[in-house]
Amino acid sequence: MNPWHERYKIWEGTAEKLAEDLLGLMPRFGLPNTDSAPNVRLIRHYVTVGALTRPTRRGKEAIFSGRNLLEALVIRSFLAQGWPLQKIAEVIRSSDWETLAGLLPRPANRAQELVARFAAQAQAPSSRSTTSMPAAAVTSLFSSPTRDHLALEGDLAALGNLTGTACRREVVRLTVAPWCAVEVDLAALQSLTPDHALRAGDALRRLLVQEIRKQGGRS
């Protein structure tokens, strides 16, 4: 069976497509999306500082490659671990495809990916030549945080957190009654519609009725 990343060697697309696919892949690696969601402006910033290899030009269009997508995943992974962008850029520029893939945590299976996506909602190969640093040399630069990350991933999984990461989210706490409070993700709240509010109210009502019945109360 081919490694997960082999399919992306033929990937290519615009900055918009790169941001969209990066956002879709992040839950597979338990990468948080609470600070700055991938967008065209952020992708261009990564290129400007040298963290992303410059795309090729087709007329007026900038076309990114599968390597760019892999680079972007590595950027997000190590930013989440507290590494400065400039240091990440140095390693990316010196890494080949296989080394970059090895710097990422193991991707989640389908069930884990669905859990990660739910949690997040509640809140052609490049022809450019590169000078590759041996994988062992690159890994040594990140050895400590990588081991810590894998250990943390195992601890969280043992606790039932299948995303492999602890997500920070700002929430709004709505106290409905002295005995009832509802917490809503702040980022999600900004995009909610009245219909969403109605559906959430209906869902909460049904959940409360179910709990009352479980406790032997009146339905």
What pLDDT, in 10s, does the model give residues 167-204? 666 778 888 888 888 888 877 777 778 878 888 887 88
Kindly state whether residues 136 and 178 are assigned to the same domain.
no
CATH of the domain at 56: 1.10.1660
| Average predicted confidence (pLDDT) for the chain | 76
Which whole number is the average pLDDT over 120-140? 48
pLDDT value of residue 130:
43
Cβ partners under 8 Å of residue 180, min gap 6: none
Kindly state whether residues 42 and 124 are assigned to the same domain.
yes
Residue showing tokens 């389908």: 110
Yes or no: say if 153 and 164 are a contact pair by the CB < 8 Å rule: yes
Q: Say how many domains are in the chain.
A: 2
**pLDDT tens track for 147-175:** 555 566 666 666 666 555 566 667 788 88
Q: For residue 74, give its domain range.
A: 4-158
Kindly state whether residues 176 and 153 are assigned to the same domain.
no
Kindly state whether residues 86 and 59 are assigned to the same domain.
yes
pLDDT value of residue 126:
42
Domain annotation covers residue 62: yes
The Cα–Cα gap between 86 and 33 comes to: 20
Residue showing tokens 């060697």: 9
Kindly state whether residues 9 and 109 are assigned to the same domain.
yes
**pLDDT tens track for 36-77:** 788 999 999 999 999 999 999 999 899 999 999 999 999 998
Kindly state whether residues 77 and 104 are assigned to the same domain.
yes
Most confident listed range (8-22, 168-182, 205-219): 8-22
Domain annotation covers residue 132: yes
> Residue 197: which H helix or E strand, with range?
helix 194-214
